[in-house]
Amino acid sequence: MSTSNNTSNQNANKTINKKQLKIWFLIPLIVFAGFVVMLYMRLGQPTEIVTNTALERPVPAFELPLLSDTSRIMTNDNLPDQPFLMNIWGSWCPTCIIEHPFLMQLEERGVNLVGVNYKDDIGDALGYLNRGGDPFSMSIQDLSGQFALDLGLTGAPETFVVDGEGVIRQHIIGEINESNWQSRITPCLMVLNEANKRNVSPDPNQVKEACK
């Protein structure tokens, strides 16, 4: 009787082991099939990343320290009352380093640049400006990164073109260079500067065309 029971148990164990092997074999196939189904369902769906920016709204309210003197707290009242560029940068950012010489050129051309130093060590940030030059009329220290997120930052560097009334009119993702300066930013600034000279709000249709 004992031998018969042992044989039955062995056969049962073999059956269980075979079932377990089948299950383990099927798991990768199930995962793969699920992945294929997910890809199929996404076919034809938009792939663009939609960012929640402050475009066509005033610069978000902030109270942040001045990078060059953190005892001074800057607010929206300290922003220029004429069109300017707000550039998000960090000493840790490789593309910011590539962009920096062009920002220095813009400063020499008289372009008003406000810097937002994003999630940076103050010593590293000041050293960065000392080495490469400071193109900014002022830089505010956004240590937590919350202000940049309120602007709609996706990743440094990014630049926001702001009109004389403090409204964001254009969002440039990535570095500024001669190409997008001429093709995108200059037309936008021309419309904003003209409205500022006449002390009127920019024409919405002109802004829509020039600042796209």
- pLDDT tens string 165-210: 999 999 999 999 999 999 999 999 999 999 999 999 999 999 999 9
Residue 123: Cβ within 10 Å count: 9
Mean pLDDT of the chain: 84
Residue of 127, 122, 161 lying closest to 142 (CA atoms): 122
pTM of the model: 0.75
Q: Look up the CATH superfamily of 63-210.
A: Glutaredoxin (3.40.30.10)
Domain boundaries in the chain? 1-47, 63-210
In angstroms, what CA-CA distances link 161 with 5, 74, 97, 151, 170? 84, 19, 20, 11, 5
Instruction: Write the pLDDT tens digit of every residue in 75-125.
Output: 999 999 999 999 999 999 999 999 999 999 999 999 999 999 999 999 999
CA distance between the termini of the chain: 88
Look at the alpha carbons of 124, 130, 131, 134 in this order and tell me if their dihedral is positive or negative.
positive
